[in-house]
Structure 1
């Protein structure tokens, strides 16, 4: 067998390394490109086609279908409207005719549902029929009535309901004048609200579906109304821009198949920042003790081995530990000491933002410890000796000389911790992240930052959406868009940490 010379071995090794790096880069770029292409479909308007199925000479079914729909959803749309079962081998294969219809409108509702149809007329309470060009005037009238209804519900009905509840708690009699007065006012404003609801229900748009059947849509329920088949390039770009703004600023709708992901985006960033604030000082202190103070013996070696092995523990184990220790034990103890009046309704004894941040800090702690200790090893001994020679104590040397020099290593650990914490799902499901949280952890109520509340996380949102919307084209495209947003968030957080690390390296290391 021929032996390769040293230059040949070096050439083969370089070629193999370059090939491996190229393959890895291609796979990574392909994955990112696939996510971007799939996620972009959520923001770009899809053309709508009229699909007519002729099963038999006397059986014809027509539906409006967007071009982004997949075959499973299309078959489901047909099976909902056809009495015949295409799976029956006795039936002939259906004839399908697809045609583009420029007159069709896409009606996006406030709750996230989407309907398609040809516009026919606008109905109002005074029996006048308006054309679509006059829709803005109708929308303005509806907005006035909606504001009036909101004002009645907020400033009158809610206040009166609270007063009546206080009277019930105080044991005031049914025939007491105070109760009768409040009930009279409540009935009056309730009737006013009901009249406004009835008036709002009389403002609607009539459309014709693909089968020629009319259906109505309330004006107050319409979010967007446009014709996707006749949109210009500028209109599509404008639509995509508005869709992106809606995506990052609104809450999910229609079982997380439409709307936005702002609560999940906010919860992800807040949890990661809290985790970084917790893990950075504790990781640095642990690394300083192991490298600067702990004796070089068997016990220290065992501790280092345990820290390294902790990085390989499955994340769900940290979730179970966080649920058992942080939530039930520590949180239950806090409730017993500080919130005993609220028991048995727990405050900190349930999964929440703070326990999620602590659990993720514990999960990423080994990474920060190892990176920080590696940075401490790179500090030249001459710097320590010079500091001691100038009369500094060990603590002063570590704080003013060693730590600044090792700060890039600490930031490296924080970067790795952010990257892992932003994408974890299993532990967060156990310790505080939910698929939908009605209120954010931050609001205008004291103490403003509510660490005990549950929160939404992009990783959990993507997992739940992908699990429940596997055959829903719009829902799956939203999940890919969420993946794209999560990659962008991780990139921005890492980029910020890298900039800080480079500035620290330029200031303390390259001297």
Structure 2
């Protein structure tokens, strides 16, 4: 009887709701914690093990990081052809990141923990981060300049660090010239080519016009020849140095320093040194371009593309959603047609996102973009300008996808405005437009901001439609540069969500890519949270500003 009264009082349901909320929060925090630990732990300079591994009567030296641990049944391993002792039921296996893919052919291997012995962590083992072929482990023997040994023994390490810094500075200079100055030259030459083609189509290609175009081309070619000389000199200087390393099997490997990003001795590093290296690795992840089929390097182009696309989507969807909501609430007669439109808007919110992607590809890209090319860019044919997936069509497609959310949220805010305020404004002589602009819209801003928050949250994580209307695995250039018109809406771009999909499911090296999947997923959550919190803070300020007016 008491239990029945307890439930009738409603207190039980309060506790059940509180428990459900607590469980949900624990699950969300747990998932984020798992993603953060798996992703951010990748950047910590892990100790490198050296051990002897006995298998099939042979013993070999293994150098690498213990990457993963797994417990398997002995019966299953025997079925797969692995030799396991007859008196055991379960076997512990380690995944060893041995690197040196260009030497061994694979940078990960599974070993039996019981066959691994004499583990050591020598301080002279060097870990190399390379532009190609992934991580390298070995012992530094000598540093060479043009094939001549310039340092070996104890002096080799400091010499190696100095020369790696030198080659990295050459890398930066080459990248700046190629992407900056030479990129600008190529952009100008393409503009001249299109200008010539346009004059040809308009039958205005006179001798004077050809001479003028030729003179402008000569200017660009002369700039290129000067830069070409600089590049060749930088390439020669960069290829000068190399280093010799001794790998696990005792053989030697000579590596050009131009292929090395950084070198560390993790076993000899203090905690503070590792913290410094960890911060540098995280910053490189945030600021560098991807390498090695997106399994190495950074994700800056993906961050840039995601944020820019979300901002463009917000700029497009906000006025459209506000205008549509104002018309439905303030101007349209509340009849069957208006109700039908509201039902249609609510139904659009439930349409799968891939359908919007197919619509965007067919209507925006092929129909609208193709007609824009035919009308305004005939000289570019057959190469499309706007008749191909790009940043603009991606932003418009996601604006269309989030438009129902924006309309519903804005209309709900309009419905909560007291009728007396509108009538009072009109009674004081304000027109309907002035009332809308000075009274209704300011008081609806918190609801508008709520719609923006929901739109940003959904759009930032969408991947399926973007795969059809603009996102790519690796974009050669950013959509924004110093060449007019500075923001190139027709260019393809990278996106954090698609980057996660590509690295996780399309990577040729799944084991190496797995930590980056976690790191990029955690970064995407942070980007979405940052955008949402910024909008929430603005909404709260507006809510406080108009609270007195609402009361």
Q: Which moved more, 1:472-481 or 1:147-156?
A: 147-156
- For residue 506 of structure 1, report the CA deviation from its aligned partner: 1.1
What is the TM-score when the length of structure 1 is the normalising length? 0.85
Alignment of 1:94-173 (within 5 A): 95-97=115-117, 98-111=119-132, 113-125=134-146, 127-130=148-151, 131-136=156-161, 138-139=163-164
Classify the secondary structure of the residue corresponding to 1:280.
helix
**Matched residues in 1 for 2:521 and 2:261: separation?**
25
Match of 2:39 in 1: 39
Checking the alignment, whether the CA contact within 8 Å between 2:49 and 2:120 is kept in structure 1 is: yes
Q: Which moved more, 1:42-51 or 1:225-234?
A: 42-51
Checking the alignment, whether the CA contact within 8 Å between 1:205 and 1:219 is kept in structure 2 is: yes
Match of 2:220 in 1: none
Correspondence 1:227 to 2:252: no
Alignment of 1:448-467 (within 5 A): 448-467=486-505
Correspondence 1:286 to 2:311: no
- For residue 73 of structure 1, report the CA deviation from its aligned partner: 5.4
Q: 1:6 to 1:376 in 2, by over 3 A?
A: farther
Unaligned runs of 5+ in 1: 171-185
- For residue 348 of structure 1, report the CA deviation from its aligned partner: 0.2
Q: Deviations over 1:358-403 (max 9, x none)?
A: 0000000010111001101110111011111112222221221111
Q: Deviations over 1:412-470 (max 9, x none)?
A: 00000000100000001110011110100000011000000000010110111111349
- For residue 311 of structure 1, report the CA deviation from its aligned partner: 0.8
**Matched residues in 1 for 2:177 and 2:502: separation?**
37
Match of 1:16 in 2: 16
Checking the alignment, whether the CA contact within 8 Å between 1:271 and 1:353 is kept in structure 2 is: yes
Q: Deviations over 1:58-102 (max 9, x none)?
A: x223232213356685499899969xxx99xxxx99822243232
- For residue 187 of structure 1, report the CA deviation from its aligned partner: 12
Alignment of 1:339-350 (within 5 A): 339-350=377-388
Match of 1:180 in 2: none
**Matched residues in 1 for 2:395 and 2:226: separation?**
49
Q: 1:502 to 1:427 in 2, by over 3 A?
A: same
Checking the alignment, whether the CA contact within 8 Å between 2:286 and 2:300 is kept in structure 1 is: yes
Q: Which moved more, 1:296-305 or 1:363-372?
A: 296-305
Match of 1:178 in 2: none
**Matched residues in 2 for 1:494 and 1:506: separation?**
18
Checking the alignment, whether the CA contact within 8 Å between 2:289 and 2:299 is kept in structure 1 is: yes
- For residue 141 of structure 1, report the CA deviation from its aligned partner: 6.6
- For residue 108 of structure 1, report the CA deviation from its aligned partner: 0.8
Q: 1:469 to 1:48 in 2, by over 3 A?
A: farther
**Matched residues in 2 for 1:188 and 1:30: separation?**
57
Tell me which of 367, 372, 376 is aligned to 1:329. Answer: 367
Classify the secondary structure of the residue corresponding to 1:461.
helix
Match of 1:53 in 2: 53
- For residue 301 of structure 1, report the CA deviation from its aligned partner: 1.2
Q: Which moved more, 1:239-248 or 1:370-379?
A: 239-248
Classify the secondary structure of the residue corresponding to 2:399.
helix
Match of 1:392 in 2: 430
**Matched residues in 2 for 1:147 and 1:253: separation?**
15
Alignment of 1:244-323 (within 5 A): 244-323=282-361
**Matched residues in 1 for 2:388 and 2:265: separation?**
48
What is the CA RMSD across the aligned residues, in angstroms? 3.7
**Matched residues in 2 for 1:148 and 1:373: separation?**
54
- For residue 199 of structure 1, report the CA deviation from its aligned partner: 6.8
- For residue 261 of structure 1, report the CA deviation from its aligned partner: 0.5
Match of 2:29 in 1: 29
Q: Which moved more, 1:261-270 or 1:131-140?
A: 131-140
Checking the alignment, whether the CA contact within 8 Å between 1:469 and 1:476 is kept in structure 2 is: no
Match of 1:510 in 2: 548
Match of 2:67 in 1: 68
- For residue 51 of structure 1, report the CA deviation from its aligned partner: 3.9
Q: 1:304 to 1:93 in 2, by over 3 A?
A: closer
Q: 1:420 to 1:143 in 2, by over 3 A?
A: closer
Q: 1:201 to 1:419 in 2, by over 3 A?
A: same
Q: Deviations over 1:260-317 (max 9, x none)?
A: 1100000000000000011011001111111111112111111111111111110000
**Matched residues in 1 for 2:292 and 2:171: separation?**
22
- For residue 485 of structure 1, report the CA deviation from its aligned partner: 1.1
Higher relative contact order (CA 8 A, sep 6+): 1
Q: 1:128 to 1:364 in 2, by over 3 A?
A: same
Classify the secondary structure of the residue corresponding to 1:101.
coil
**Matched residues in 2 for 1:188 and 1:276: separation?**
44
Classify the secondary structure of the residue corresponding to 1:445.
coil
Checking the alignment, whether the CA contact within 8 Å between 1:368 and 1:414 is kept in structure 2 is: yes
Q: 1:229 to 1:510 in 2, by over 3 A?
A: farther
**Matched residues in 2 for 1:5 and 1:347: separation?**
71
Checking the alignment, whether the CA contact within 8 Å between 1:68 and 1:473 is kept in structure 2 is: no
Q: Which moved more, 1:110-119 or 1:481-490?
A: 110-119
- Which 4+ residue blocks in structure 1 deviate beyond 6 angstroms? 75-80, 143-156, 186-196
